[in-house]
């Protein structure tokens, strides 16, 4: 059993849902060495999250952003954590709902995803900046 761990820095993105599968795999040369295994991907932030969803249609990503903004609106009168702007507390709630990590199977040196699945960075801040991921790979 081989273990690899690498920290990846993602380029800054605007608020929204972004497919980052290719950006992750480009920074994981060890992935191609694993025939059967698992990958755990963890985001080191409390105002961005990760999820797995549709990787082709940008409409899905736009609709996800619209839904979460409607479900968790900015400037809610009951928010007390407002020091970093109106997008801050909603970003924390969205990140908690979607989650901070993914566990994916690895088969023959690549993530074993469904035909239409991609890894999303869910950027919940207007200006979140670059984001850091820790990727742990294990397998044979």
In a domain, 8, yes or no: no
d(CA 103, CA 130): 22
Q: Write down the pLDDT at residue 130.
A: 97
Q: Are 53 and 118 in contact (CB under 8 A)?
A: yes
Positions in the chain short of pLDDT 70:
none
Q: Write down the pLDDT at residue 114.
A: 97
Residue 95 sits in a domain of what CATH number?
Answer: 2.60.120.460
- The residue with tokens 């566990």 is 103
d(CA 5, CA 134): 7
Q: Write down the pLDDT at residue 1.
A: 86
Q: Write down the pLDDT at residue 109.
A: 98
Name the residue range of residue 53's domain.
16-133
**Tokens found for residue 114:** 């469904």
Question: Sheet containing 14-19: which strands, arranged edge to edge?
Answer: 14-19, 117-127, 48-54
Number of domains into which the chain is organized: 1
In a domain, 64, yes or no: yes
Count Cβ atoms within 10 A of the Cβ of residue 113 and give its class: 0-12 exposed, 13-18 middle, 19 or more buried.
middle
In a domain, 99, yes or no: yes
In a domain, 10, yes or no: no
CA–chain centroid gap for 79, Å, is 25
Q: Write down the pLDDT at residue 11.
A: 97
In a domain, 140, yes or no: no
């Amino acid at each position: 059993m081989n273990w690899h761990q690498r920290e990846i820095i993602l380029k800054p993105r605007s608020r929204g849902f972004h497919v980052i599968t290719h950006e992750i795999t480009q920074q994981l040369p060890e992935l191609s060495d694993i025939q059967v295994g698992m990958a755990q991907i963890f985001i080191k932030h409390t105002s961005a999250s990760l999820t797995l969803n549709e990787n082709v249609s940008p409409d899905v990503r736009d609709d996800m952003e619209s839904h979460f903004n409607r479900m968790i609106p900015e400037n809610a009168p009951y928010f007390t954590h407002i020091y970093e702007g109106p997008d801050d507390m909603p970003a924390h709630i969205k990140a908690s709902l979607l989650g901070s990590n993914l566990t994916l199977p690895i088969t023959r040196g690549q993530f074993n995803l469904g035909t239409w699945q991609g890894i999303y960075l869910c950027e919940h801040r207007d200006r979140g900046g670059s984001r850091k991921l820790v990727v742990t790979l294990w397998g044979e």
